Amino acid sequence: MPEEIFNKIILAVEDGDVEACAELARSALDEGRDPLKIIDEGLSAGIRVVGEKFGCGDLFLPDLMMAVEAMNAGLEIVQPVLDKLKIKKESLGTVVIGTVFGDIHDIGKSIVATMLEMNGYSVIDLGVNVTARAFIEKIKEVNPDIIGLSALLATTMREQKTIIEEITREGLRDKVRIMVGGAPVSGQWAEEIGADGYGANAEMAVQLVKRFMG
């Protein structure tokens, strides 16, 4: 059963209360709470609750964005302590994520990246307008478990297919799982282009990664 301070942090994240989240994180540190527990049992737990509600349609994108902002406010308080103590969370896997070439939409992809991080995964966010070559070079460099390709426009979603084809040509396809997402993307499209899975929203993307990683 989470301690009261952690329950308060969870509620602050759910409420998208930036100021309260930062104050509670600071209070938890002042009380001598383990910084990793503040993240795992407070901030991460809160964003998981929000993600589940978002996935069920009980919350909407503005609510999710506010919750992420509140969570980040708490992280800004706790992270320097972790860095000072040289404490690192054990990663459950590595995900490289980016918005495909020709597309500069960032919000959805960034929320997915944040939620993956809060669920224990190492995330390398390549940003927006990312070429197939950039994804390929990063696969060679860090050997990730999963690649996430985001496209928010019908005109750019075809770049997901191009990237998968280029990864295949490089002989890297069997080394990485590929998931796709974005407003115009569907499960049928994911199957058509040879992706391993499709996340309709941030929570579904997290669940997909969990399934991939067993």
Counting residues of the chain whose pLDDT is more than 90, the rounded percentage is 73
Q: Residue 97: helix, strand or coil by DSSP?
A: strand
Sign, CA dihedral 201-98-174-209, equals negative
> What CATH class does 4-85 carry?
mainly alpha
* C-alpha to C-alpha distance for 191 and 195, rounded to whole angstroms: 6
4-85 and 94-212, same CATH topology = no
Inform me whether the pLDDT recorded for 1 exceeds 50.
Answer: no
Q: What is the mean pLDDT of residues 133-141?
A: 98
Residue 18: how many CB atoms within 10 A of its CB? 18
Tell which wins on pLDDT, 109 or 84: 109
Inform me whether the pLDDT recorded for 45 exceeds 80.
Answer: yes
Domain residue limits, the chain: 4-85, 94-212
Q: What is the mean pLDDT of residues 109-122?
A: 90
In the DSSP assignment, the letter for residue 130 is: B
Strand partners for 149: 98, 180
- pTM (predicted TM-score): 0.79
Structure tokens at 139: 């696969």
Inform me whether the pLDDT recorded for 137 exceeds 90.
Answer: yes
- Please, which pLDDT band fits residue 2 given cuts at 50, 70 and 90? low
Inform me whether the pLDDT recorded for 86 exceeds 80.
Answer: no
Sign, CA dihedral 103-153-63-207, equals negative
CATH 3.40.50.280 fits 94-212, yes or no: yes
Residues 6 or more apart whose CB falls under 8 angstroms from that of 90 comprise 120
